[in-house]
Amino acid sequence: MSFGKCRFCDSPLEHTFADLGMSPVSNAFLKREQLNLKEPFYPLHAYVCGACLLVQLEQFESPDAIFNDEYAYFSSFSDSWLKHAKEYVDEMIRRFGFDPSSFVVEIASNDGYLLQYFVEKKIPVLGVEPSANVAEAARKKGVDTLVKFFGVNTAKELAAKGRKADLLLGNNVLAHVPDLNDFVAGMKILLKPGGVITMEFPHLLRLMRENQFDTIYHEHFSYFSFLTVEKVFARHGLTLFDVQPLSTHGGSLRIFAKHAEDRSNAITNAVIALLAEERGANLDKLATYDEFAEKVRITKRKLLQFLIQAKEGGKSVAAYGAPAKGNTLLNYCGVRTDFIDYAVDRSPHKQGMFLPGTHIPIFKPEHIFETKPDYLLILPWNLKEEIVQQMSGIRTWGGTEVAVIA
């Protein structure tokens, strides 16, 4: 039973979607000298609102504490993400005809990984980014950036200066905002008449269908179906007129919104079809969400069964990857070095560190070839194909089997 209220409609939160126990913040990797210090754990309990069906975490700490610069993430370090950004920019220009007289605003613009491609086309941009050091990296790329959290106040300040947006976008920010209504109300204020909003976020339908409960972590406050996100936007005078499925983050949506009073941009068949698909999957019924809680517990038992069998048979197990989702899974299941000897990760920032909570050490991928474990458990399941290929060398010594539990 929660003491919280729905961040959208204010109803009391009474229904559990997934209770993952107590967990450290997922990206709080530890150095060796931190292993003997106390480590903060917070409840990781997702609820579904019985009234509006928004899946959400209770707020448990101020966002400043989570999103401090220590955890700053530079988007430009990922090639596939840059490619995704460039394709998006080309598509928006082609479809909506943005040109040097247009104005593009990105919320949570990070290091300018996306806006730089509008700058290349001489289209004026503004990034809004709360983290000062990533904003500085954006400015170096020539991307004008305001260091602020976005909401009604920031939107009003910009609108008062005549800086309303023809295109207002945000990738992987909607799910992360604690005050959802203030955020969406701010977008309504900042959008020019006739302007377009696009937002990308992981799709709850995919999370539920594919049992991706390990994508639940503290930084991620809301988990949207298309049905609920449409309700949220409608309440603030915005209409969703198109939607595209994306493969990012295990399955995301890109939604397109306009002012409710805007007669341009007719509602596409994709909108009608997705609403029908979600109703077909019973996402409009509370019971569907109640069932998910049991699926999560079944997965925990399956993983433990696999690990117990492996260890009783005298086998060794290593983990591939140290993503945030791996930390959710391992902490929820209580799996430490008693089951998993070590993890490997390609990121040099993680090598030599320890996983939060479980204190499993992280090595370079080559460590696998030196130690030849009996099992390799893949934690970032969304990259499974890629990793199986990279690790194809392990087949040459015959022993190691690749395991993915879902």
Which residues lie near Zn ion (CB under 5 A)? Answer: 6, 8-9, 11, 49, 51-52, 54
Q: Which residues sit opposite 5 in a β-bridge?
A: 12
**Nearest-approach distance from CB 235 to Zn ion, in angstroms:** 11
The whole-angstrom separation of Cα 397 and Cα 368 is 11
The whole-angstrom separation of Cα 131 and Cα 403 is 37
Q: Which is nearer to Zn ion, 12 or 43 (CB)?
A: 12
**Nearest-approach distance from CB 48 to Zn ion, in angstroms:** 9
Q: Which is nearer to Zn ion, 234 or 404 (CB)?
A: 234
Q: Which is nearer to Zn ion, 11 or 78 (CB)?
A: 11
**Nearest-approach distance from CB 51 to Zn ion, in angstroms:** 5
Length of the chain counted residue by residue: 406
Q: Which two tokens stand for residue 60?
A: 């448990």
Whether the CB-CB separation of 128 and 146 falls below 8 Å is answered with yes
Reading phi first (left if > 0) and then psi (alpha if -120 to 50, else beta), residue 162 is in: left
Q: Which is nearer to Zn ion, 49 or 190 (CB)?
A: 49
Q: Which is nearer to Zn ion, 233 or 256 (CB)?
A: 233
- Report, in angstroms and rounded to the nearest whole number, the Rg of the chain calculated over CA atoms: 22
Q: Which is nearer to Zn ion, 233 or 241 (CB)?
A: 233
**Nearest-approach distance from CB 50 to Zn ion, in angstroms:** 8
Strands 55-57 and 222-223: antiparallel
Whether the CB-CB separation of 56 and 46 falls below 8 Å is answered with yes
The whole-angstrom separation of Cα 162 and Cα 126 is 13
The whole-angstrom separation of Cα 143 and Cα 129 is 11
Torsion of CA 49, 285, 217, 67, to 10 degrees: -50
The whole-angstrom separation of Cα 358 and Cα 328 is 10
**Nearest-approach distance from CB 228 to Zn ion, in angstroms:** 8
Any long-range contacts for 342-351 (C-beta under 8 Å, 24+ apart)?
342/318, 342/367, 342/371, 343/318, 343/319, 343/379, 344/318, 344/319, 344/320, 344/368, 345/321, 347/322, 350/29, 350/322
Any idea which residue has 């109803």 for tokens? Answer: 11
Q: Which is nearer to Zn ion, 11 or 153 (CB)?
A: 11
Q: Which is nearer to Zn ion, 54 or 307 (CB)?
A: 54
**Nearest-approach distance from CB 272 to Zn ion, in angstroms:** 24
Cβ of 305: how many Cβ atoms within 10 Å?
Answer: 11
The whole-angstrom separation of Cα 272 and Cα 4 is 33
Q: Minimal CA–CA distance to 117: which of 154, 84, 149, 148?
A: 84
Q: Which is nearer to Zn ion, 51 or 293 (CB)?
A: 51
**Nearest-approach distance from CB 216 to Zn ion, in angstroms:** 18
The whole-angstrom separation of Cα 63 and Cα 77 is 24
The whole-angstrom separation of Cα 383 and Cα 406 is 14
**Nearest-approach distance from CB 5 to Zn ion, in angstroms:** 8
* Single-letter amino acid, residue 330: L
Cβ of 270: how many Cβ atoms within 10 Å?
Answer: 15
**Nearest-approach distance from CB 6 to Zn ion, in angstroms:** 3
Q: Which is nearer to Zn ion, 51 or 403 (CB)?
A: 51
**Nearest-approach distance from CB 9 to Zn ion, in angstroms:** 3
